[in-house]
Structures are given as C-alpha cells and as structure tokens.
Chains A and B, each alone.
Chain A
Amino acid sequence: MFDFLIEGFGVALSPLNLGLAFLGALLGTLFGALPGIGPINGIAILMPLAYTLGLPAESALILLAGIYTGAEYGGRMSSILLNVPGDAGAVMTTLDGHPLAKQGLAGPALGLSAVSSFVGATIAIIGLTLFAPLLARVAVMFGPAEFFALMVFAFSSMAVMMGKDPIKTAIGAVLGVLIATVGVDGGTGVMRFTFGMPELYDGIDFVVMIIGLFAISEILLMLEHAHRRSGEDDMPPLGRVFVSLKEVLYCKGAMWRSGLLGFIIGVLPGTGASVAGAVSYTTEKRLSDKEGTFGKGDMRGLAAPEAANNASAAGSFVPMLTLGIPGSGTTAVLLGALMLYNITPGPMMFTERPEVAGGLIASLYIGNIVLLALNLPLAGVFARVLTIPRWVLVPAIAILAFVGVYQLHSDLTAIYLMLIIGVFGYLLRKLGFSLAPVILGYVLGGLMEQNLRRALSISGGDAGILWQSGISLGLWIAAAALLVLPWLLPKLLAGRSRRHAG
C-alpha cells in the first residue's frame, strides 16, 4: 500500500531533488517573510523561473511545494513582529503573536511558531500519507458525472467557507471558469472568445494569468500601503533567540489538537489556511483560556493557529492529489503547474505516476524538517527581510514578473495581457473579491466543461446522468446543503451572526 512512498523517497532523496527541496524552503521562507507577499504571490512570481530550469515534473513540483510550505512559515514573521499578517491565513497569528513580541519575547514567539508549524505539518503529512491512497481508491470509481458534481461541490464549499461574501466568491469563480473557456474548444475546434487574435487560440496562458492576477495587482495595492508604516520604524527587538522546551511542552495540547483540526479543514475542497487558523484559534480559546490570557500574549494562542495553518496547507494536498480538486487557492496554482506538464492530478496518479505523487509527499516530509532546521536558528536573519523597503521590493517584483512572462514565448503580447489581467485583479481586490475562487475557477474550468460534456455524451444528452449515481447525488445534496446553511443558520442562531458582522 505504501509502495508509492518508498518510491517517492527514492525520488525525493536524489541530490537534485534534495537540493530543490532545500532551495524551495529557503526561497519560500524569504518570500513569505517579505511584507505583503503571501504564499500564493510567492509561487506566482517564482513559478516561471522554476520552468526555465527545465526540471522534470516531479522536481518542479518538489520545488514549488517547498516554496508553498516555506511561505507558510515565512508568513508568520510580519504577523508576529509587525502585527501585519502576510496573508489571510496568518491573521489569527497576530492575535497572540504580536503581544508576545511587544513583551520582548519576539524570539521565543518565532521559535514557538516554527515548532508548532512543524508539529501541525507533520500531523497533516502523516494524514496525507494514510488517506490519500485510500481516497484515490474510491476516486477511481468516479466517472465524468461524479467529477462534475465534485467540482460543483468544491465551488459551493468555497463560496461558503471563504466567509464574508458568498455572492462575490461565486462571481469570482464564474469569472475564472469563463476565462478558462477562451481559446480553441477541444471537442469541436471552434474558436471561442479569441476575437481573431492568434495569441489567444491556446487560451490565456497559466503563467500570464497568475502573474498578472497576483503579482501585478499586488504592485498596485502596495502603492496604497506605501504611506503606511513600513517595517523599519517599530520592529521590536527579538530578545532571546530560542524557545525553551518548557514553553513548547506547555503548548503541546494546543499543537496536536489544532494540527488535526487544520488537516481536516485543509482536506475539504475550497477551504484553506484562513479558515483553519480561525477555527483552531476559537476552539483552543474555548478549551484552554481559563484565565483570559488569550489575545494578550498567550503562547497557546500562537501555537494553535500556526499548527493549524501548516496542517491545512499539507491537508489541501489530499483533494488535489487524489481528486484533482485543489483545497485552496495556492494548491490551485500548483495544480495548474502540474497541468503544464501534461499531468492531470487525480486517482490514477498514484498508480500511473507514483514518482510524482510519492515524490511530492516524501519531499513534504523532508521539506518540513529542513524548514524547522532553517527557521529555528535563522529567525533573526529572516526577520531582517521585513525591513526591505517597498521601493526596492516593488521594482524587483516588476522585473521578475516581466522576465517570467517574456521568457515564455519571447513576445510582448503576453506582457500586455499580463498588465490587463493585473488591473482586472486589482479592481476585483478593491471591490472586495478574493482571488482564490477566480484562480480555482480558471484552473478547474476546462476540466469542468470536459467532464460535463463527456457525461452528457455518454448518456446521449440526458441530463439525468449527472445525479444518477449515489456518489454524485450525495455530492449534489452536500453542495446544496452548504449553500442553504448560511441562510438558515443565522435564523437558527437568532441573528447572532448578523450582530457579529455589523
């Protein structure tokens, strides 16, 4: 049953892949620590460069996964030291992390968050090893109709879990799917929405899309924050550099509970680190906050979201690897990256491409240890990244974005397209959209249409096939339940949530 893992370690332990796991962890931590750049931006900016190295699929994936998990580690820096979360997943980290830093315990706080991240990620990677092959075995029975229902379920779970505005999440996903329809239709060879431009015949390039959507829009957003304080002014001193064993043991309950919780939340399609952090923090607070110290610098309040963050990052690989349905925006980007290699993640990957599936999982084990080893002693070095001024950071991102897109086909059309998508992404973000549904829709859109059309062509046009099997019917019901619950729950809770929102 664990043959894939043994083969995977064989792949991941090759000198090249070990080096890439290390490089990914290092780059990821650095990019995650950069102010305003979360994991998804880090991967978007670094991905084209990973391609130019001409790596085989499993090596590229190992590098990108290292960047992903590394960025989750790095994201905590600005949360703890500056009270500025690097991305949505790190919001909860600020609640107890920053008070700790203000008490002169920044060093131990960083150390503790590295240890909790390690524990959370370890729990989730073990979970991934155990459950992914099982789920893959179930998923082999999925036909096109089941996959279509599964994608609908993923979108509705995302619309609900992403929080504040389900309508905008849904619109974002629809826009993403629509962008995926641009180009030649695979079934008939008809050109759709290309407006006679040959550059669009192959659709909108994945790299152009994510660099525009994330990196360029980030540049524009950063201008707004340029006036606000930058890291140089009020970075608290790190204090003692290491976290003591006593402090770690004090938080062990919070760590493993949140690790498990984070893993489960990460597995659910469409829900990522932000939900995991929030749920684990509130759970831990309810369980252990006897003296009312949470929010004032309680170490357990820092350990819980950090363990959950990283656990959900690893957990979101489960649906991505076994079903081809990403569990978060960042895994959607990784999924798109795999598709560039003509590998469609799904149940067959464990049997047909075990070196990719196993190599990735094995490299997560290795990367996790590398990250702990890097982050404990080097926290002070990484923290200095926070003081990089925006006037260096922004032009550097611009160069990386331009070169990354230009080297695809050595033409300028892609660059103009990237700028247009960047403005589009900026407007969406200003209008309160999250970009994760857009990228999820874009990555899944093509598969969704293919599966729908394949299902209907099997049934000769009878739409009944879409909910005939037990699996697909269950998924439709689950999707519908998810969409109805947010309307029902507030009424059941007697307007409690409305007061919170207000």
Chain B
Amino acid sequence: MRIAADRLLGLALIGLAAFIAVQSLQLQVPFSYEPVGPKAFPLGLAALLAVLSLVLVFKPGEDGEWPAPALALRLLGVLGLLLAYALLFTRLGFMPSSFLVVAALARLFGASWPKALVTGVLLAAGSDVLFTAGLDIGLPGGTWLADIL
C-alpha cells in the first residue's frame, strides 16, 4: 500500500472518531424523560466519521503539494511569531508587541529591514489610533510596563 497523506489523515480521523466515541460514552447523564440524551448525536457523528475515513484510507486522493523543508521552516517561523504575539500581547502591550511582530512578519514575507521597520511603526501606531480613537476598543496597555512604572 502506498503511503499517502490521505491514508494518514484517514487513520488519524478514525482515531479521533474513537476518542469522541469513548468521551461520549463516559458522559454522566442525569435522568431525563427525553428519549435522546446528549450521547447519541456525537456517537452517531463518530460512527459516520469513521466510515468516511475508512473510505479515505482505502481510496486516497492525490497527494497535495507539501512545503519544501526551507518553506516549512519559515512556516514554523510565522507560527512562532503569532505565538509570540499572543504571549506578548497583554504583557508588553498592544503597540510595542505589534511593532515587533509586524516588523518580523514583514521581514519573513520578504521585506527589507528598513521597509519592515517602517511598516512596523506605521501599522502599530495606525491601528492603535484606529482601534482606540476610531472604534473605542480597549487595547492591552502591557502589564510589564505597568510593573516597571
């Protein structure tokens, strides 16, 4: 059997279906007059998912184009940046964290350093004005900064 992305996906989904089924069966349901409780629907879905995934295992489609190692590394870089943005968002505050992440993202997407830095400044400051003054959204001011001051 050829190892195809769809086969792996099918197997993973069958695992997911099994997990859902086990989780649903373990639900503690209080007594109720309703003929159908909260278990039946997810159980049915899990069964359906398992059947559909089996089809995928036996009749996989074409393998898609997967990123080359260099690109995969940059993908992880983008993900890492987004994660860093999430981590810094409330701690460092909206403006500084946005500036750093925007500049780094722009760099990853092919901007030169000066362009990336200018983009960072303009987008961070511009969106801060738009959100706080224009749309009246409260943005995080940064807990680290507050601690220092």
Q: Which residues on A are within 8 Å of B, measured CB to CB? A: 49, 52-53, 165, 167-168, 170-171, 174-175, 177-178, 181, 185, 187-190, 192-193, 216, 219-220, 222-224, 226, 389-392, 394-396, 398-400, 402-403, 406-407, 410, 412, 415-416, 419, 422-423, 430-432, 449, 452-453, 456-457, 460-461
**18 cross-chain CB contacts under 8 A:** A49-B135, A171-B13, A171-B52, A181-B45, A187-B38, A190-B30, A193-B42, A391-B116, A392-B123, A395-B101, A395-B119, A406-B139, A416-B86, A422-B82, A432-B64, A453-B34, A456-B35, A461-B36
CB within 8 A of B102: which of A181, A399, A403? A399
Contact partner of B36 (CB less than 8 A), chosen from A220, A392, A453, is A453
Q: B36 and A456: CB pair below 8 A? A: yes
Given B36, B49, B64, B123, which contacts A175 in the complex, CB threshold below 8 Å? Answer: B49
Closest to A172 in B: B52
Which B residues have a C-beta under 8 Å from some C-beta of A?
A: 5-6, 9, 13, 20, 23-24, 27-30, 32, 34-38, 41-42, 45-46, 48-49, 52-53, 55-56, 59, 61-62, 64, 66-67, 71, 74-75, 78-79, 82-83, 85-86, 89-90, 94, 98, 101-102, 105-111, 115-116, 119-120, 123-124, 127, 131, 135-140
User: Known interface pairs A49-B135, A402-B85, A407-B137. Does A391 touch B106 (Cβ–Cβ under 8 Å)?
Assistant: yes
Q: Which 6 A-B pairs have the closest CB atoms?
A: A461-B35, A391-B111, A395-B102, A185-B38, A391-B109, A391-B106
| CB–CB B89/A406 < 8 A | yes
With A168-B61, A415-B86 given, can you name 19 additional A-B contacts, CB distance below 8 Å? Answer: A174-B45, A174-B49, A174-B52, A177-B45, A178-B45, A181-B41, A188-B34, A189-B30, A192-B38, A219-B78, A220-B75, A391-B107, A395-B120, A396-B127, A400-B127, A406-B89, A419-B79, A456-B35, A457-B35
Residue of A nearest to B108 (CB): A223
In the complex, are the beta carbons of B23 and A392 less than 8 A apart?
A: no
Give which listed residue, B29, B82, B115, B139, contacts A188 with CB less than 8 A: B29
A229 to chain B, nearest CB (A): 12
* Assembled-state Cα–Cα distance A273/B139 (Å): 37
Instruction: Given A391-B111, A460-B35, decide whether A406 and B140 contact each other with a Cβ distance below 8 A.
Output: yes
CB < 8 Å neighbour of A53 from B82, B86, B105, B135: B135
Main secondary structure of the interface of B (DSSP, over half): helix
In the bound complex, CA of A141 to CA of B129 (Å): 51
| Distance to closest chain B CB from A47 (angstroms) | 13
Give the number of A-B contacts (CB < 8 Å).
167
Given A165-B61, A181-B42, A392-B106: A192 and B27 within 8 A (CB)? Answer: yes
Closest chain B residue to A428, Cβ basis? B9
Flag if B140 contacts A167 (CB, 8 Å): no
- Tell me if A432 and B61 are in contact (CB < 8 A): yes
A398 touches B82 (CB 8 A): yes
Contact yes or no, A431 B9, CB < 8 A: yes
Shortest beta-carbon distance, A174 to chain B, in Å? Answer: 5
When distances are taken between beta carbons in the complex, the residues of chain B under 8 Å from A193 are 20, 23, 42
- The answer for the CA separation of A49 and B110 in the assembled complex, in Å, is 29
Q: Which residues of B contact A398 (CB under 8 A)?
A: 82, 85, 101-102, 105
Across-interface contacts of A391 in B (CB, < 8 A): 105-107, 109-111, 115-116, 119
Q: Given contacts A193-B23, A226-B110, is CB(A412)–CB(B82) below 8 Å?
A: no
- Give Cα A224–Cα B9 distance, bound, in whole angstroms: 22
Q: Which residues of B contact A223 (CB under 8 A)?
A: 71, 74-75, 78, 108-109
Given contacts A220-B75, A395-B101, A431-B64, contact A187 B37 (CB under 8 A): yes
Assess whether B64 is in contact with A220, with CB atoms less than 8 Å apart: no
Given contacts A187-B37, A190-B28, A223-B74, contact A389 B52 (CB under 8 A): no
| B119 in complex: contacting residue of A174, A392, A452, CB < 8 Å | A392
Kindly list chain A residues whose C-beta atoms are within 8 Å of the C-beta of B36. Answer: 452-453, 456-457, 461
Contacts of B45 in A (CB 8 A): 174, 177-178, 181
